[in-house]
């Protein structure tokens, strides 16, 4: 297992390119199950979660061929297994997103439930309820969701909260259902919109993605498609915070301002300059970091996946910030590690009060989940002396070569084998 070692204090400058979106790519890969024809997916990030998704698809009988480093052809001509096993679903929750497509294509699916997760309970009740509304018979047995349906039937579905994964699962299932589905209170995230674009390119009839109500007119069959995944707005936001936390000046190529409005607004409020630049955004900071109030919300609100990174920034502010996490109940694990670096953070329920300190001090810290690990890397960039971030596999699940990208911008960061790791 590797660790990342950072000598803090280097100001970042230069240009960096954003990779394809992990969270868009995963459901899009699962959508390949919906057709016997080959689909091509471009701008795929090379990361561990993508490899896990590929392992799952291969297990189901989907064949793959890499066209180049970031383009993949998937072909589900023959489905050999109807089961997503526990080992794969527990490694990556998004494996559960295969339930809808597998059931819609073959009439049956047996998918392990994901169980707990470092950032909260994360149930799948909304996925199950949505797919059941489409007429599936679903039983929960031995930790698995067992679903059957001759053919799913379109209907009106109200989602209690706008879950990203449940929205994706339901629209993939409804794409092949008989008749029309209206999904109300749907998630509006850009990743949902990208999945709808992919499905429409495959012959689906989906409208309204990006709005509260998504309508899906089921079709008899779907065909092959060639789709380019959107860029990763969370990686872009992470790189923006990296520029900000080091008082740097960085052009982030491929960052989409329209998808990052809440993030840009909050960075500006905290004294960071964000301007459009050719093909992306330029992020600079000359002044102090100002304290702000921040609340995570479903899109287009401030993303929970950037909360940990903003906490690292605000730990360096001149004054007291308040962060409220409304999406996941246990998403402050990074705060405990930031405390080890000298941050002043008090937590009560969903709220963290972050009193900025003049300078964090480098320390060995341990990542507990994907975004927590990037927040610790960011904190290390600004801290005095050396920070060692252990359990880097979390980072590798969701960021393509983050350490190399930061190094190219002038960060003193390296990846070394962690001999002490258990
Ligand atoms: C996706 C993203 C994840 C991001 C999250 C919220 C992927 C692969 N992952 O996760 O990075 O942090 O959106 O933006 O796209 N919930 C239920 N029942 C359900 C489903 C969800 O109660 O059946 C709750 C969750 O516990 C959570 C909230 O709804 O409190 C939002 O979760 P959801 O949008 O489903 O997140 P994911 O799709 O798992």
Residue 421: pLDDT over 70: no
Tokens of 178: 């008989």
d(CA 54, CA 81): 14
Instruction: List, for residues 85-138, the tens digit of each pLDDT value.
Output: 999 999 899 999 999 999 999 999 999 998 666 656 678 999 999 999 999 999
What's the order of all strands across the beta sheet hosting 13-17?
13-17, 249-253, 280-284, 273-277
> DSSP letters of 316-354?
TSSSEEEEE--S-TT--HHHHHHHHTT-EEEEETTEEEE
Cβ of residue 127 lying under 6 Å from some atom of ligand 1: yes
pTM of the model: 0.97
Residue 165 beta carbon below 6 angstroms from any ligand 1 atom: yes
Segment 63-91, tens digit of pLDDT = 999 999 999 999 999 999 999 999 999 98
State whether the beta carbon of 123 lies less than 6 angstroms from ligand 1: yes
**Ligand 1 atom closest to the CA of 162, numbered from 1:** 34
Q: How confident is the model at residue 58 (pLDDT cuts 50, 70, 90)?
A: very high
Task: Place 418 in a pLDDT band, splitting at 50, 70 and 90.
Answer: confident
Helix (H) or strand (E) holding 228: strand 226-228
Residue 165 CA, ligand 1 centroid: distance in Å = 6
State the distance from the centre of ligand 1 to the C-alpha of 405, rounded, in angstroms: 28
Quick check: 172 pLDDT over 70?
A: yes
CA–CA separation, 176 and 169 (whole Å): 12
Atom of ligand 1 nearest to the CA of 191: 15
The two tokens of residue 99 are 């339930």
- The residue ranking higher by pLDDT, 370 or 77, is 77
Check if the beta carbon of residue 321 is closer than 8 Å to that of residue 338: no
At 319-331, the pLDDT tens digits run: 999 999 999 988 8
Question: Does ligand 1 have an atom closer than 6 angstroms to the CB of 125?
Answer: yes
Calculate the alpha carbon distances from 318 to 16, 214, 271, 291 in Å.
28, 44, 11, 6
* CA–CA separation, 83 and 110 (whole Å): 5
Q: How confident is the model at residue 185 (pLDDT cuts 50, 70, 90)?
A: very high
Residue nearest to ligand 1 atom 26, measured at CA? 122
CB contact at 8 A, 181 and 104: no
Answer yes or no: is the C-beta of 276 below 6 A from any ligand 1 atom: no
Using DSSP's 3-state secondary structure scheme, residue 255 falls into: coil
Tell me how far apart the alpha carbons of residues 384 and 372 are, in angstroms, rounded to a whole number. Answer: 20
Our answer on whether the CB atom of 122 is closer than 6 Å to any ligand 1 atom is yes
For residue 122, the CA-to-ligand 1 centroid distance in Å is 7
Distance 112 CA to ligand 1 centre (A): 17
> Once rounded to an integer, what is the mean pLDDT over residues 45-56?
96
Q: Percent of the chain at pLDDT above 90?
A: 92
Residue 157 near residue 133, CB atoms below 8 Å: yes
Beta bridge partners of 211: 209
Q: Two tokens at 352? A: 């963290």
* Residue 307 in contact with ligand 1 by CB distance below 6 A: no
Q: Please compute the mean of the pLDDT values over residues 268-273 and round it to a whole number.
A: 98
Residue 422 has pLDDT above 60, yes or no: no
Q: SS3 for 309?
A: helix
Residues marked as catalytic: 117
Confidence of residue 393 (pLDDT cuts 50, 70, 90): confident
pLDDT of residue 382: 98
Residue nearest to atom 5 of ligand 1 (CA): 164
Listing DSSP states for 355-371 in one string gives E--S--B--EEE--SHH
Q: What is the mean pLDDT of the chain?
A: 96
Q: Per residue in 224-268, pLDDT tens?
A: 999 999 999 999 999 999 999 999 999 999 999 999 999 999 999
pLDDT surpassing 90 at residue 380: yes
Write the residue with the smallest CA distance to atom 31 of ligand 1: 163
């Amino acid at each position: 297992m590797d660790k990342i070692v950072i000598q803090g204090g280097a100001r970042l400058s230069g240009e960096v390119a954003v990779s394809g979106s992990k969270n868009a790519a995963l459901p899009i890969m699962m959508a390949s199950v919906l057709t016997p024809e080959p689909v091509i997916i471009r701008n795929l990030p090379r990361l561990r979660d993508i490899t896990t998704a590929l392992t799952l698809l291969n297990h189901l009988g989907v064949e793959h061929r890499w066209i180049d480093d970031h383009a993949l052809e998937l072909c589900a001509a023959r489905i050999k297994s109807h089961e997503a096993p526990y080992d794969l679903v527990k490694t990556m929750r998004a494996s559960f997103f295969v339930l809808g497509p597998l059931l819609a294509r073959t009439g049956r699916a047996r998918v392990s439930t994901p169980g707990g997760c470092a950032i909260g309970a994360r149930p799948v009740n909304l996925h199950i309820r949505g797919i059941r509304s489409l007429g599936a018979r679903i039983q929960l047995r031995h930790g698995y969701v067992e679903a059957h349906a001759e053919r799913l039937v379109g209907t009106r579905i109200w989602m209690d909260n706008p879950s990203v994964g449940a929205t994706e699962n339901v629209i993939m299932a409804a794409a092949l259902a008989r008749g029309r589905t209206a999904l109300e209170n749907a998630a509006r995230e850009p990743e949902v919109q990208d999945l709808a674009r992919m499905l429409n390119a495959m012959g689906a009839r989906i409208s309204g993605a990006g709005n509260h109500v998504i309508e899906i007119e089921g079709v008899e069959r779907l065909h092959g498609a060639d789709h380019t995944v959107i860029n990763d707005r969370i990686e872009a936001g992470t790189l923006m915070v990296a520029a900000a936390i080091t008082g740097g000046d960085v052009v982030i190529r491929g960052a989409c301002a329209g998808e990052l409005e809440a993030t840009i607004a909050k960075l500006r409020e905290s004294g960071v300059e964000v301007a459009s630049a050719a093909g992306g955004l330029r992020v600079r900071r000359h002044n102090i970091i100002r304290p702000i109030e921040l609340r995570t919300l479903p899109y287009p609100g401030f993303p929970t996946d950037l909360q940990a990174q903003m906490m690292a920034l605000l730990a360096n502010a001149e004054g007291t910030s308040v962060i409220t996490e409304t999406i996941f109940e246990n998403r402050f694990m990074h705060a405990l590690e930031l405390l080890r670096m000298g941050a002043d953070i008090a937590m009560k329920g969903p709220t963290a009060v972050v009193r900025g300190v003049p300078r964090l001090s480098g320390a060995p810290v341990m990542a507990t989940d994907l975004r927590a690990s990037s927040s610790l890397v960011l904190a290390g960039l600004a801290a005095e002396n050396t920070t060692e971030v252990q359990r880097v596999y979390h980072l590798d699940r969701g960021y393509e070569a983050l350490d190399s990208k930061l190094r190219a911008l002038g960060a003193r960061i390296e990846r070394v084998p962690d001999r002490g790791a258990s």
